[in-house]
Amino acid sequence: MKRFAGCRVLVTGVADGIGQATAAAFLAEGARVLGCDLQPLAADPGYEVLPLDVAAADAPGRLAQRVAEALGGLDVLVNNAGICPVAPLAETTDEDWDRVQEVNLRAVFRLCRALYPLLCASAAGRVVNIASVSARFANAGMGAYTASKHGVAGLSKSLAAEWGADGITVNYVLPGAIVTGITRELRDADPAFREFWENKSPLGRWGQPEDVARGILFLASRDADFVTGHGLAIDGGAMAVS
Ligand code: NAD
């Protein structure tokens, strides 16, 4: 029996990186998956993907409706879609600031709220939000992102406090430097950036999207029945050492 057989899962941002690896891992373990993304997928992933912007006004309603129609309910919500523009705060416009908060934080809140009734009806509702090590510390040039990820941590703990009575757990992960669409270009172009994060981890390497997917699946599994409001660092130990 596969670990997620019969489990109904929604993952946002599945065209690349952590979301792609997470949806594939759920699928491989027997889950029924629905995904969404702004950009088209390079290849057929073997599950339905809705083309949409998670920050759009109608996105939560559309997703909730499609989840109910296609999956007949929801057991696991993974809020993964995110953006990370790099700019000093003094040069960040209101529009740039708002877009980061809308995609990385507001959409997470709105999706959780829209899918709450379906999660309540599940025997073991699970929410896993993707934060970042930027929910714990700051790097220059990532102010809007860092604020949004601190917000994801606070939102996840607040939801955990409110939804425990419904049997829903809400956790978040804090990935370190992971090789994905967000980081690939800069990592290839800038050896100092690549080496900084390589050296920051005692394991001496960058993470792969599958490293993060395995942590997300743990938090979504019955092994994590008594884990809620928790932030799981998946950073190769980067935050544990100075
Ligand atoms: P990625 O760019 O490879 O994947 C993100 C996916 O989300 C893309 O397919 C993109 O098209 C999609 N997306 C972006 N905005 C969207 C929107 N408005 N609506 C729908 N889809 C949207 O990047 P990734 O690193 O896999 O990012 C996934 C999550 O992991 C993000 O929340 C990111 O902040 C977080 N994270 C990444 C790292 C890292 O080092 N890569 C570290 C910490 C946290």
Residues catalogued as catalytic: 145
Mapped onto helix, strand or coil, the DSSP state of residue 209 is: helix
Q: Which residues line ligand 1 (CB under 6 A)?
A: 12-13, 15-19, 36-39, 53-55, 80-84, 103, 130, 132, 175, 177-178, 180-183
pLDDT at 207: 98
Whole-prediction pTM: 0.99
Q: Which residue has a Cα nearest atom 12 of ligand 1?
A: 13
pLDDT tens per residue, the chain (242 residues)? 899 999 999 999 999 999 999 999 999 999 999 999 999 999 999 999 999 999 999 999 999 999 999 999 999 999 999 999 999 999 999 999 999 999 999 999 999 999 999 999 999 999 999 999 999 999 999 999 999 999 999 999 999 999 999 999 999 999 999 999 999 999 999 999 999 999 999 999 999 999 999 999 999 999 999 999 999 999 999 999 98
For ligand 1, mutation pick of 20, 38, 58, 77 (most atoms within 8 Å of CB): 38
Task: State the Cα–Cα distance between residues 133 and 125, nearest whole angstrom.
Answer: 25
pLDDT at 242: 82
Q: Which residue has a Cα nearest atom 24 of ligand 1?
A: 17
